[in-house]
Amino acid sequence: MADSHQVVTRSLNDYVMTSNRVAAGLTNPGRNSNELYGPHGIFVDVNLDLYVADGRNNRVQLFKSGESNGITVAGYTSLNPTITLDSPSGIILDAEKYLFIVDQFNSRIVGSGLNGFRCLVGCHLHEGA
């Protein structure tokens, strides 16, 4: 629901869509910790924590299970600003909690590691990234 600036959960057993619940974001776009602006990709880990590729805010937000305020884990206003993003659109978290992000308008894939983020694919376009 990128145009609604929200991520919505729904039971797979609910065929008439009465169990929809907003998991992240509000109806209007924004940059605050409880807001999204054009979310595209999501990932839910084994703890039911929600990672959101917040496209137009150029960041990845982590919403701990049951929390409405997110933590910026990559990109704009991140606590660990080792990489800048331009419209992230996809996210994967591996078993060791390393994050992999499709950085759409930079035409690359970046990954987290012990020393922060690094470019993995499409790096020739962004040397030094």
HEC string for 61-125: EEECCCCCCCEEEEECCCCCCCCCCCCEEEEEECCCCCEEEEEHHHCEEEEEECCEEEEEECHHH
DSSP H or E segment with residue 39: strand 39-44
The pLDDT of 71-92, averaged and rounded, is 89
Which tokens in the block code for residue 129?
Answer: 């990234």
The predicted-structure confidence for 6-47, as pLDDT tens digits, reads as follows 777 777 777 777 767 777 877 788 899 999 999 999 999 999
CATH topology (fold) of 2-125? Thrombin, subunit H (2.40.10)
Q: What is the C-alpha to C-alpha distance for residues 122 and 114, in angstroms, rounded to an integer?
A: 21
Going by pLDDT thresholds of 50, 70 and 90, the confidence category of residue 94 is: very high
The predicted-structure confidence for 50-63, as pLDDT tens digits, reads as follows 999 999 999 999 99
Residue 91's Cα: distance from chain center in Å?
6
Q: What's the whole-model pTM score?
A: 0.84
Q: Residue ranges per domain, the chain?
A: 2-125
CB atoms within 10 A of CB 30: 13
